Amino acid sequence: MDTLEIRIAAGLELERAGDEQGAIEHFRQVVADYPNDSRAWFEYAGAFDFAGQEAEAIPHYRRALAMGLDGDYLPRLYVQLGSSLRNVGAFDEAVALLDEGIARFPDMPALRVFRAYALESAGRSKAAITELLELAIRYVQTPDMQGYARAIRYYTDERAQ
C-alpha cells in the first residue's frame, strides 16, 4: 500500500472512531501534501460530509470531480455530492447531478434512491415515488415481489402520466 493510501486509511479510521474534527484536520493535511490527487480531495470532502458539514464538503467534492476522480469512487461522489446539495437546499441541482450520475452508472441503485430523496425535497413527490417503485421492480427479486411486478408496473406507469 502506498503512502497516500495509508494516510487515507488513517483518516477513515478517525471517522470510524468518531473523531470528526480530527478526520477533517487529517485530510486537510493530506490535500496539502497531495494537492493534485482527486481521491485526496474526495476523502477531504467526505470528512466534512461525515461531520454534517455538507456546505463545506460541496466545493471539495466539485474539485475532485473536476480533477477527474475515477474508479469506484466516482459513483460514490455523485451520491455524496448529490446528497450534500439536497441537504443544503439545492434540490434542482441535486436532481440534475444525480441524473448525470445515473446516466453514467445506470446500474447503481444508490443513485436512484438519493435521486428520489432529492425529488421529494424539490416537491416532486409523484416522481420520487415513481423512482422508488422502479427500483422495487428492478431490484427486489423475491417471488412475492415478482408476482406483483406487472401490477406495480401498471400503477407506476399510471402515476407517471
> Which tens digits make up the pLDDT trace of 68-91?
999 999 999 999 999 999 999 999
Whether the CB-CB separation of 11 and 3 falls below 8 Å is answered with no
Q: What is the pLDDT of residue 156?
A: 78
Q: Which of 25, 30, 55 is nearest to 42 (CA)?
A: 30
Whether the CB-CB separation of 44 and 30 falls below 8 Å is answered with yes
Structural domain includes residue 16: yes
Q: What is the CATH number of the domain that holds 30?
A: 1.25.40.10
Structural domain includes residue 26: yes
Structural domain includes residue 24: yes
Number of domains in the chain: 1
Structural domain includes residue 50: yes
- Report field, pTM of the whole predicted structure over 0.85: yes
Whether pLDDT at 158 is above 80: no
Question: Whole domain around residue 28: which residue ranges?
Answer: 1-69
